[in-house]
Amino acid sequence: MQPFKPVLLEAVGVPDGHTIASYKSRGGYAPLEATLAGKQPADVIEMVKSSGLRGRGGAGFPTGLKWTFLPKDHPGPIYLCINADESEPGTFNNRILMEDDPHQVIEGIILSSFATRASTAYLYLRYEYPKSWHRLQAAIDEAYAAGYLGKNILGSGFSLDVYLHRGAAAYICGEETGLIESLEGKRAWPRIKPPFPAIEGLFRKPTVVNNIETMACVTQIARRGVDWFKSIGVPADPANPRDPGSYGPKLYCLSGHVEKPGCYEAPLGITARELIDRFGGGVWKGRRAKAVIPGGISMGLMTESELDTPLDFAGPGKVGCLGLGTAAVVVIDDQTSIVDFLHNSARFFAHESCGQCTPCREGTSWSLRILERIKAGKGRLKDLDILLELGNTMGMMPGSTICGLADGAAWPMKNAIKKFRGEFEEYVKRTNPSGWMVTDPVPALAIVGAH
């Protein structure tokens, strides 16, 4: 592989790298100045479209295409919402960008607002990131003082205000319409789509919701060019006209049972094994991986033999995972019980289901209760089929819920039971020798607290 130099993480480890002085000394805000001096919004949209940039928040939707869904000649206001509610278990790349290089993010926000003709951008930040809050607010203040934000930026006639808006610890606020509802001061219940936010979003106005890392990518595309961006990653599959490719650098979050957890920048398409061995120093304590989460817990599990799968937008799906997600790679070693893993996953989703759609609210809650019972030594083989049935019936894909949270809850359940069924069966038989074969209904254990 050709040598790869991190660009998104360029400021990490640089003293005072988060300040505007440091950012400008590294070439920051020059692309913005050039853009405002001579380009039209349509030029920026065209640049992002032709770069092939796909949203970094989890769904991988092409960013430039998303922008073109905004109505033409709308009288305004148009809003840009920046999704910094990073809450997918295993994911922390946005935190690092906001703490260590907030101006790279802000420059992307200004460029994206210019492209979409947004005059107000709200940055929705999860509550649990106090350092990001302080760093971003300081950076926004610096950007206003330098004339990059506010009225008539650099004499271009373009005006933009950026406001921080703090969440209150709810995973569902990362779903774009849940975020919008939360910003409006309501419970964060996702909306039925259509209408999509581009048509009717925040305060019922046309709205784009983009992720923090996506904003940083926009900055880098403006600075280094479309050709540079497209020279990195995995090109579109010519045999599949619907594959938009996986271009550009990506921030991979590596955690769990590795020697060196951390956020690492690599070309899209690096394999999980390469990431673990080359960046993570291998599985910890000289052990082997039993399973690896490819992109946040809702993407499911890869087995050890699937670790050579490229982590691009198309890769994880080829081994039965939901997708690349947030590219948060979590390593589970061979001494960890997969029953414990799935219980942890179910507990997360039961807690974070927003409660709006019954199949999700009840499905995640009952999954957890069944797994509590299995862990308590009262499991039955039949429970594994019940869990699979729940997994197959809750979510947007089977058509029973409004948003994808339940799909994300179902995927680790389906992957774990399909790929590690032997371990589940062995556990159930060993811990419940007198009852594992029972098929009659059984009472649940005590109800567990959840939303």
Partner 1 sequence: MIAPGRTYLTDEMVAKIEALAPRYPNRQALTLPALHIVNAELRHVPLGAVAEIAAVLGLAPAEVQDTLTFYQFFHQEKPHGKVRAFVCRSVSCALRGGDQLLEHLCAANRIEPYGTTADGELTIEPAECLGACDFAPCILANDDLLKNVTPEAAEAELKKPRARAT
- Using CB under 8 A, pick the residue from 39, 347, 375, 382 that binds partner 1: 347
Of 265, 267, 316, 259, the C-alpha closest to 293 is 316
**What radius of gyration, in Å, describes the C-alpha atoms of the chain?**
23
- Using CB under 8 A, pick the residue from 35, 63, 83, 87 that binds partner 1: 87
| Interface mask toward partner 1 for 105-144; x: CB under 8 A | ---------------x-----xxxxxx-x-----------
In 55-111, at which residue ranges do the beta strands (DSSP E only) sit?
79-84
Query: Please, what is the minimum distance in Å from the beta carbon of residue 252 to partner 1?
Result: 11
Q: By CB under 8 A, how many residues form the interface with partner 1?
A: 59
Query: Please, what is the minimum distance in Å from the beta carbon of residue 244 to partner 1?
Result: 28
- Using CB under 8 A, pick the residue from 11, 226, 328, 405 that binds partner 1: 328
Please, which residue, 90 or 310, has the CB nearer to partner 1?
Answer: 90
Quick one: which segment of 3-11, 20-28, 81-89, 400-408 binds partner 1 (CB under 8 A)? 81-89
8 Å CB contact between 32 and 111 = yes
User: Distance (Å, rounded) from C-alpha 307 to C-alpha 276?
Assistant: 9
Residues 6+ apart with CB under 8 A from 109: 80, 82, 121, 123, 162, 215
Q: Is 436 a binder of partner 1 (CB under 8 A)? A: no
Q: Is 61 a binder of partner 1 (CB under 8 A)? A: no
- Using CB under 8 A, pick the residue from 177, 214, 255, 367 that binds partner 1: 255
Q: Is 187 a binder of partner 1 (CB under 8 A)? A: yes
- Using CB under 8 A, pick the residue from 74, 203, 308, 334 that binds partner 1: 203
Quick one: which segment of 17-25, 101-109, 302-310, 336-344 binds partner 1 (CB under 8 A)? 336-344
User: Distance (Å, rounded) from C-alpha 320 to C-alpha 314?
Assistant: 11
Cα dihedral 109, 213, 62, 415 sign: negative
Distance of CA 29 to the CA centre of its chain: 26
Q: Which runs of consecutive H residues, i.e. helices, occur in 186-240? A: 212-224, 226-230
User: Distance (Å, rounded) from C-alpha 119 to C-alpha 108?
Assistant: 14
> In the chain, count of helices (H) and strands (E)?
16, 11
Please, which residue, 91 or 116, has the CB nearer to partner 1?
Answer: 91
- Using CB under 8 A, pick the residue from 91, 104, 112, 219 that binds partner 1: 91
Query: Please, what is the minimum distance in Å from the beta carbon of residue 97 to partner 1?
Result: 12
Q: Is 92 a binder of partner 1 (CB under 8 A)? A: yes
Q: Is 330 a binder of partner 1 (CB under 8 A)? A: yes
8 Å CB contact between 405 and 173 = no
CA distance from start to end of the chain? 47
Q: Is 247 a binder of partner 1 (CB under 8 A)? A: no
- Using CB under 8 A, pick the residue from 18, 66, 95, 414 that binds partner 1: 95
Distances (CA, A) of 92 to 237, 254, 274, 380, 405: 30, 9, 20, 37, 19
| Interface mask toward partner 1 for 145-184; x: CB under 8 A | ----------------x-x-xxxxxxx----------xxx
Query: Please, what is the minimum distance in Å from the beta carbon of residue 389 to partner 1?
Result: 24
Q: Is 88 a binder of partner 1 (CB under 8 A)? A: yes
Q: Is 352 a binder of partner 1 (CB under 8 A)? A: yes
Q: Is 75 a binder of partner 1 (CB under 8 A)? A: no
Of 271, 301, 305, 300, the C-alpha closest to 288 is 305
For residue 77, say if its preceding peptide bond is cis, omega within 30 degrees of 0: yes
CA angle, 111 then 113 then 117, to 5°: 125
Q: Report the b/e string of 372-401 with b at 16+ CB within 10 A.
A: bbbbeebbbbbbbeebbebbebbbbeeeeb
Q: Is 89 a binder of partner 1 (CB under 8 A)? A: yes
Residues near partner 1 (CB under 8 A) are: 77, 86-92, 94-95, 120, 126-131, 133, 161, 163, 165-171, 182-188, 203, 253-257, 261-263, 293, 297, 328, 330, 332, 336, 340-341, 344-345, 347-348, 351-352, 354, 451
